[in-house]
């Protein structure tokens, strides 16, 4: 076992830290938060990330990328998460779709996406799986007749025609020209169990018939729209289907590994909450000594560290497993590792918020302190890729 980061990983971590300190530090975050909700997409930050080359890290070498493996991306997401959600949040979304298309896409699909990543700083992607009547049913997936997904795509010559609704979708940024790209999951067979009856399509957001029916206000910083979507006879060419017809759910499930990059930012945030709370406990004096020296407070701080360490190394180990399999030429589709990490990261967030709120006492409720923001950010991510509970239930069938 070798826990040492490679020289390249160390250099990238140093670059990420330097970038976040300079470009996405607390002052910049406050500047963004002071804006109206619908003006908070940090376009200038996207441009700077692009100039440094972060979005291109995941591209294959023949496109000028570094083919960064999952562990490298996770270490970077963890690092960036320590500086808030801005830089890492914008990057990890595209990273995961690039690695997916490199494995699953046709040459033409790869070329289209990679060239847009290279040439369009504002280009971003999103994913439409969740539906008003099918939330965790999509994540499991729930395979009973009528379960799992209603949005339907039928074939018409060399096109598919999509009709239906999605909800709570982190929309691609559409302020850039042209717009973003949505990975749409839709049934292509109404009678098959959902695990075999869904296909995946790449849909440019400017496609006629596609619309945003509602923008949801949510409790966390809005860097992108959290939207409900409508598909009214949306036509996508057959060449935009990812994988074979009926493989949509396998793609969605297999791709969960790449979502770990997004989730690893939560570990970074936990680290920040820990450092901030520890510092406070060592300086706040009650009962004649720093509260850190009261066992009930000090042991909470140690418990925070314990939770971070075990979650971080479970996540790094899972990424390492994935990378070994990928380097050996396999495609790891079983998701036990992801499910365990998902559940652990969700629990980590709640433990950190609970301990911080206790240690800060009444001050935890002050808006001028960041505790409220930590709680909102943590809460805002509890559902991601299924709740922690759902991920534990999914693990049951794999052990």
Q: Tell me how crowded residue 388 is: count the other CB atoms within 10 A of its CB.
A: 20
Token readout for 47 is 């441009």
Task: Show the site string, 332-371: x = touches ligand FAD by CB under 6 A, - = not.
Answer: ----------------------------------------
**Smallest gap, in angstroms, from Cβ of residue 150 to ligand FAD?**
13
Buried b (16+ CB within 10 A) or exposed e, 317-331: bbbbbbbeebeeeee
Using CB under 6 A, which of 28, 54, 168, 316 touches ligand FAD?
168
What is the number of residues in the chain? 399
Q: Compare residues 63 and 201 and give the one whose CB is closer to ligand FAD.
A: 201
Using CB under 6 A, which of 53, 135, 243, 290 touches ligand FAD?
135
8 Å CB contact between 320 and 257: no
**Smallest gap, in angstroms, from Cβ of residue 168 to ligand FAD?**
4
User: What separation in angstroms does the CA of 157 have from each of 162, 204, 241, 391?
Assistant: 14, 20, 14, 39
- In 3D, which of 170, 381, 94, 169 has the Cα closest to residue 266? 381
Is 386 among the residues that bind ligand FAD (CB under 6 A)? yes
Is 84 among the residues that bind ligand FAD (CB under 6 A)? no
Task: State how beta strands 125-128 and 241-242 pair.
Answer: unpaired
- In angstroms, rounded to a whole number, what is the distance separating the alpha carbons of residues 222 and 38? 8
Task: State how beta strands 159-170 and 210-215 pair.
Answer: unpaired
Task: Show the site string, 180-199: x = touches ligand FAD by CB under 6 A, - = not.
Answer: --------------------
Using CB under 6 A, which of 87, 90, 91, 169 touches ligand FAD?
169
**Smallest gap, in angstroms, from Cβ of residue 146 to ligand FAD?**
15
**Smallest gap, in angstroms, from Cβ of residue 46 to ligand FAD?**
18
Using CB under 6 A, which of 81, 170, 337, 349 touches ligand FAD?
170
Using CB under 6 A, which of 6, 214, 389, 398 touches ligand FAD?
389
Q: Compare residues 43 and 218 and give the one whose CB is closer to ligand FAD.
A: 218
Q: Compare residues 261 and 277 and give the one whose CB is closer to ligand FAD.
A: 261
Query: 């975050």: which residue's tokens?
Result: 29
- Return the half-sphere exposure (C-beta side, CA atoms, 13 A cut-off) of residue 86: 28
Q: Compare residues 41 and 359 and give the one whose CB is closer to ligand FAD.
A: 41
**Smallest gap, in angstroms, from Cβ of residue 343 to ligand FAD?**
11
Q: Tell me how crowded residue 306 is: count the other CB atoms within 10 A of its CB.
A: 12
Binders of ligand FAD: how many residues, by CB under 6 A? Answer: 20
Is 261 among the residues that bind ligand FAD (CB under 6 A)? no
Using CB under 6 A, which of 193, 209, 243, 380 touches ligand FAD?
380
The phi, psi pair for 130, rounded to 5°, reads: -65, 140
Task: Show the site string, 98-127: x = touches ligand FAD by CB under 6 A, - = not.
Answer: ----------------------------xx
Q: Tell me how crowded residue 16 is: count the other CB atoms within 10 A of its CB.
A: 23
**Smallest gap, in angstroms, from Cβ of residue 387 to ligand FAD?**
4
Q: Compare residues 65 and 88 and give the one whose CB is closer to ligand FAD.
A: 88
Dihedral, CA atoms, 6, 24, 277, 274, nearest 10 degrees?
Answer: -30
8 Å CB contact between 342 and 391: yes
Q: Taking contact as CB under 6 A, which single stretch among the options 130-138, 195-203, 295-303, 314-322 is the one that binds ligand FAD?
A: 130-138
Task: State how beta strands 198-204 and 181-187 pair.
Answer: antiparallel
Residue sitting closest to ligand FAD (CB): 135
Token readout for 48 is 């700077």
Is 228 among the residues that bind ligand FAD (CB under 6 A)? no
- In 3D, which of 50, 54, 48, 46 has the Cα closest to residue 73? 54
Binding site for ligand FAD (CB under 6 A): 126-130, 135-136, 139, 168-170, 218, 226, 380, 383, 386-387, 389-390, 393
């Amino acid at each position: 076992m070798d826990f040492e980061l490679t020289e390249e990983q160390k250099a990238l971590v140093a670059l990420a830290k330097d970038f976040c300190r300079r470009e996405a530090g607390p002052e910049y975050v406050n500047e963004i938060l002071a804006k109206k909700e619908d003006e908070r997409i940090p376009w200038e930050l996207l441009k700077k990330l692009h100039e440094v080359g972060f979005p291109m890290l995941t591209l294959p070498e023949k496109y000028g990328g570094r083919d960064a493996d999952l562990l490298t991306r996770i270490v970077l997401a963890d690092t960036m998460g320590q500086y808030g959600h801005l830089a890492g949040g914008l990057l990890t979304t595209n990273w995961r779709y690039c690695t997916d298309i490199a494995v699953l896409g046709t040459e033409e699909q790869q070329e289209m996406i990679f060239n847009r990543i290279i040439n369009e700083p504002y280009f971003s992607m999103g994913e439409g799986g969740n539906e008003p009547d099918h939330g965790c049913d999509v994540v499991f997936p729930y395979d009973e007749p009528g379960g799992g997904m209603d949005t339907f795509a039928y074939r018409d010559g060399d096109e598919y025609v999509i009709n239906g609704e999605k909800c709570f979708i982190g929309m691609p940024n559409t302020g850039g020209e042209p717009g973003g790209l949505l990975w749409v999951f839709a049934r292509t067979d109404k009678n098959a169990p959902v695990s075999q009856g869904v296909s995946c399509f790449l849909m440019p957001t400017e496609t006629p018939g596609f619309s945003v029916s509602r923008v949801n206000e949510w409790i966390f910083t809005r860097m992108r729209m959290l939207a409900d979507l409508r598909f009214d006879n949306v036509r996508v060419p057959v060449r935009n289907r990812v994988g074979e017809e009926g493989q949509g759910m396998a793609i969605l499930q297999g791709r969960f590994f790449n979502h770990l990059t997004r989730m690893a930012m939560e570990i970074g945030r936990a680290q920040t909450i820990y450092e901030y709370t520890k510092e406070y406990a060592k300086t706040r004096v009650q009962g004649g000594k720093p509260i850190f020296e009261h066992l009930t407070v000090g042991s909470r701080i140690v418990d925070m560290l314990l939770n971070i360490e075990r979650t971080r190394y479970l996540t790094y180990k899972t990424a390492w497993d994935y990378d070994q399999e990928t380097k050996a030429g396999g495609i790891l589709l079983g998701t036990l590792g992801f499910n365990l990490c998902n559940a652990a990261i969700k629990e980590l967030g709640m433990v950190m918020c609970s301990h911080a709120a206790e240690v800060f006492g009444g001050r935890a409720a002050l808006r001028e302190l960041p505790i409220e923001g930590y709680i909102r950010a943590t809460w805002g991510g509890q559902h991601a890729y299924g709740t922690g509970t759902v991920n534990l239930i999914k693990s049951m069938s794999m052990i």
